[in-house]
Structure 1
Amino acid sequence: MQRFAAAIAAGFALAACGGEQPTDAVITQSGTAPPSDQERYVAAAESAASLDSLGQSFVKLALALGEHDPAFVDAYHGPTEWADATKTEARSLEQLQMDAQGLLISVARANADEETVRGAMLEKLIRAALTRIEMTQGEAFPFDEETRLLYDAVAPQYSTAEFDAAIAEIDRLLPGEGPVHDRVDAFRNSLAIPAEKLQAVFDAAIDECRARTLAHYDLPTDEQFSLEFVTDKPWSGYNWYQGEFESLIQVNTDFPIIIDRAVDLGCHEGYPGHHTWNVILERDLLNEKGWIEYSVYPLFSPLSLIAEGSANFGIELAFPGEEKIAFERDVLFPLAGLDPADAATLEALNAMREKLSHSRNHVAREYLDGRIDRDQAIEMIMKYRLEGRDRAEQTVRFIETYRGYVLNYNLGRDLVAGYVERNSSDDENAWDAFETLLKTPLSASDIAAQ
C-alpha cells in the first residue's frame, strides 16, 4: 500500500473507537499529554475541511489558467458557475502566479500536522499549475526540470547504442534494401485498415476491451462513450471526458491506421484506460468522497503520468501474453480484409519496437534543450521511432505542442507495470492492484516507492 496508508487507516480506526481518551495517558518530555483520539479525529476533520477549501481554490485557479493556456484544462465537470465566473472575472497571469504561490503555502501548512495522500497530491497539482503559469509567462525550464515540476518524474539518460541494437534486430526481421524505417513503414502500412472498415473494426476492438474490463470492474450502468474519426491533429487518439461517466473518443485519420492500433486505442482511450480511469475518479473521489479538485483534469500535472501510464499498461492487462495478437489475427484481421498470416510478423515487430519506446523521450530532451534542431529531431524520430517522414513530422509537432508530456506514455507505463507487479501475485490480483492505483491519488515518486 502507499506510504500514507497507515495515516489514513489510523484515521478510520479513531473514528471507529468513539474517541475515548485513554486513562493511562503518557506525558511527553515537554510536560504535555499527547493528543487524545478525539482530538486527533477533530484535527483530521479540520484538515479535511481545509483541503476541501483548498481544492475549490485549485479548481478555480486551473480554470482561470485555462483562459490563458487553452490546453491546460483537459476536462471539467464541476459547477458551471465557476467556469462562467472565470470568463467574466478574468485574472492576469501575474495574479494567478501570486494566487498559486499562496495556495502552495496553504496546502503545505495543511499537510504539516498530518500528511495525507489527498493533500500530497493537491500540493503537487498546485506546484504544477504554478510551473505552467511561469511557462505561459515565458519562463523556460530544462527538459528534466520541467518534467519534475509538472509530472513529478524525470526520464533516465539513454544510450543510443541500446536503440541501435534493437534496430539491428528489426533489420534482421524485415531484411531488404533501404533504411530500416522505410521497410517498417511499408510493412505496417500494408496492414492498414481500409477506410470503409474502420468503424466495424474499432467497434469490435472496443467491445472486446470493454468486455474484458467489465469482467473485473463494476462500472456505473450508465457509463458510455461516443467515437469520432477526425483529421489534422498532432496525436493519433484522444479521450475527451465529458463528465457524468461519458467520454468522446476521437481517432485521427491523417495517416493510415494500422490494424494493431484498434485494440491499442480501444484499451488506451477506453477500457481499462482513460475512460475507465475518469469514470472511477468521478465516482469514487469526486462524488463519493467530495474531493472537488477531481472535477478538473489539468493536462500538465502529475495526474497525466498515471493517466497515460495506466492507459498504456491497460493494453497488456486486458490482453496478457498472446491474447492480443490472437484476437487481432482471428477477429480483426478478417474483419478488415487483411491476411492473418501477417499477424505473427507484426507481433514480433512490435515486441522489438517496444525496446525503442523511450527513444521519443531522448529526442524530445535533445530537441527542447537545444542540442539538436528541428530537422535533426525529425531524422532521429525516423531512425529511432521507425517512422516515415510524414509521421515523424507529426511526432515532432506533438513534442513542440506538449513538450515533456511525452515521458508519461513510456515512463508512466513502466512505473504502473512495476507497481502492479509488486502488488499482485496473479492475473486477478493484477486487476485489483491496477484498480487501487486508478482510485488512489499517487504520483510518480509515490508509485516508484511502493
Structure 2
Amino acid sequence: MNIIAEKYVKLALNIGNYDKDFIDAYYGPQDWRPKSKSGEFNDSIYQILNQQVDSLLDEMESLSVYNAAELEKLRYRYLYKQLLACKTRIFMLNGVTLSFEEEAKALYDTEVPVHNEDFFKQTIEELNKILPGKGSVTDRLLSFKDKFRIPEEKLKAVFDAAIKECRNRTLKNMQLPPTENFSVEYVRNKPWGAYNWYKGNFFSVIQVNTDLPIYIDRAIDLAAHEGYPGHHFYNALLEWNLYRKKEWVEFSVYLLFSPQSLIAEGTANYGIEVAFPGSERIKFEKEVLFPLAGLNPDEADAYYKVLDLQKNLSYAGNEAARNFLNGKWNEQQTVDWLIKYSLRSRESAAKYLDFIKQYRSYVINYNVGMDIVKNYIEKNGGTDENPSKRWELFKNLLSTPQTPGGLK
C-alpha cells in the first residue's frame, strides 16, 4: 500500500501540472514534484496519465481482499476513491463534460438531493413575514443585514477575537499539534469569500476576501471554518497523525477535486456547531463581537432568526450550479435565480457564478457535506445532549481517512 500511495502522490502532482486548482496543498518530498512546468495538455499526456491511474487502480483491486485492521481498511477505501477522482479529473482535462450529477458522484462520492422552487418559496414567504420595510424580499433582506455589517476598520479586531475564542474552545476538547499556527490576510478580487492555504508543518495562511460586505456572523463562521476546528485544524491533524506518525505519504497532498474536500468542507461547517452548541454562539457574539464591531447587541436575536431561515436557501446555489453546468441556464438566468432564491445582491450573485465557473460542482461540499457529517455524528450519539461524544466523533473524522460514502 505504501508503494501505491507514493505513486498516487506523484500522479496527483503530475495532474496538478496541467490543472492549477487541483493541488490544494502539498508538503511532501520536494523532489517528487515534476521537474519542469507543463506544456499544453494533449492526447499524449492524457494517455500517459490515464494509463498510470488505471495501473494504480488495478493494483488497489488486487489488494481488496486482504485481511486488514479497520484503520487500514479506511485507508484503502480513501485511496481508492481519491484515485477515481484523479481518473475523473484526467477525463475532464481531456475535454470530457460530465453532468452536474455525474461529476458530483465521481469527484465527491455523493448524490446531490434536488430542491425544487417550492422548497425555496416556503422559506422566502416566512422571511417576507418578518423582514421590515417594503419592496422585494431580496432588497429588504439586504437592507436589514446592512445594519450588521462589520466596518472595514474593525475587521481585524473582530476576527482576532473570534479566532481566539474558536481556538480556546477547540483546545478544551482536542489536542493541537505542536507549533501549529496561521496568519490572516485580507485580499480582494477573488471568486471565494475566504480560503485556507495549508503550507505544511502545521501552518496555514488564511485569506479573507473583502470584495463584498462582511456581516457579523461571518466572523465566527470564518474563524471556525477556516481555522479551529475547521480547515487549519483538519489539515494539521492529518499531517500529524497520518503523515508524520504513520508515514502514510498520501496525506502529504490534498486534492481539491476529490472526496476529501466534501469531508473537509462538511466538517469545517459542522465544526461551528460543535464549537458553539445551542445558544453559546449568540451569547458570545452579543457580549464580545457586537460591541467590538460597534453594533447593537439588542438586535442580535432578530438577526439570527432571519439567518436561521436563510440557511435553507444555500441549496439554491446547488440548483444554480446544476442547471448552469448542465447547459439548461445561461449566465443571466443563473444570476437571476440566485437573486430570487438565494436572496443575493446582483454583485454577490455574479461572484457566486464566478465560483461555479471555476470550481463547478464543488459548491455541494459546503451544504451537502455538512448534512452528511452532521447526520453521521448525530446518529452515532453526538447530539447537543452529549457534547463530549460529539467532540470524540468529530475528532475521529478529522484525524482518520474518511470518505463520504463511508459515512452513510
TM-score category (smaller protein):
over 0.9
Other-structure match for 1:102? 55
1: distance between equivalents of 2:327 and 2:146? 33
Kept in 2: contact 1:111–1:120 (CA 8 A): no
Q: How does 1:52-71 map to 2 (within 5 A)?
A: 52-71=2-21
The corresponding residue for 2:155 is: 198
Quote the residue 1:312 is aligned against. Answer: 269
Specify the alignment match of 2:23 in structure 1: 73
Deviations 1:70-114 (A, max 9, x none): 000000000011125364899823311211111111112122334
Please, which of 390, 393, 397 is the counterpart of residue 430 of structure 1? 390
Residue of structure 2 in register with 1:130 after alignment: 87
- Counterpart-to-counterpart distance in 1, 2:126 and 2:21: 39
Whole-Å separation in 2 of the counterparts to 1:433 and 1:142: 34
Distance in 2 between the 1:108 and 1:422 partners? 31
Residues 144 and 155, structure 1, Cα contact 8 Å, conserved in 2: yes
- Ranked by relative contact order (alpha carbons within 8 Å, sequence separation 6 or more), the top structure is 2
169-178 or 128-137, which deviates more: 169-178
In structure 2, the residue matched to 1:224 is 181
User: What runs of 5+ residues in structure 2 fail to find an aligned partner?
Assistant: none
CA distance in 1, matches of 2:176, 2:381: 22
Q: How does 1:342-421 map to 2 (within 5 A)?
A: 342-421=299-378
The corresponding residue for 1:261 is: 218
Whole-angstrom distance in 2 between the partners of 1:394 and 1:342: 29
Aligned residue pairs: how many? 398
Q: For residues 107 and 272 of structure 1, do their structure 2 counterparts lie closer, same or farther at Cα, with a shift above 3 Å needed?
A: same
Q: TM-score, normalised by structure 2?
A: 0.95
CA contact (8 A) 2:17 2:38 kept: no
The question of 1:149 aligning with 2:106 is answered: yes
Looking at structure 1, the residues matched to 353 and 283 of structure 2 have their Cα atoms a distance apart, in angstroms, of: 33
Does the alignment pair 1:281 with 2:238?
yes
Identity %: 45
Shift in alpha-carbon separation, 1:128–1:188, aligned structure 2, 3 A: same
TM normalised by structure 1 equals 0.86
SS in 2 for 1:85: coil
Structure 1 match to 2:402: 442
Give the distance between the partners of 1:349 and 1:336, measured in 2 at CA: 20
What is the match of residue 38 of structure 1? none
**Stretches of structure 1 lacking an aligned partner (at least 5 in a row):** 1-50
CA offsets 1:396-443 (integer angstroms, 9 cap, x no match)? 111111111011100100010111112225001100010111122121
Shift in Å, 1:366: 1.1
Q: What are the within-5 Å matches in structure 2 for residues 241-252 of structure 1? A: 241-252=198-209
Deviation, structure 1 residue 371: 1.3
Contact 2:177 2:237 in 1 (8 A): no
**Would the aligned equivalents of 1:245 and 1:282 in 2 still touch at CA under 8 Å?**
yes
Amino acid at match of 2:257: F
Residues 94 and 84 of structure 1: CA distance in aligned 2, closer, same or farther (over 3 Å)? closer
**Aligned Cα RMSD in Å?**
1.5
Most deviating of 356-365 and 259-268: 356-365
- The amino acid across from 2:392 in the alignment is D
Residue 44 of structure 1: aligned partner: none
Alpha-carbon contact 1:63-1:86 (below 8 Å) kept: no
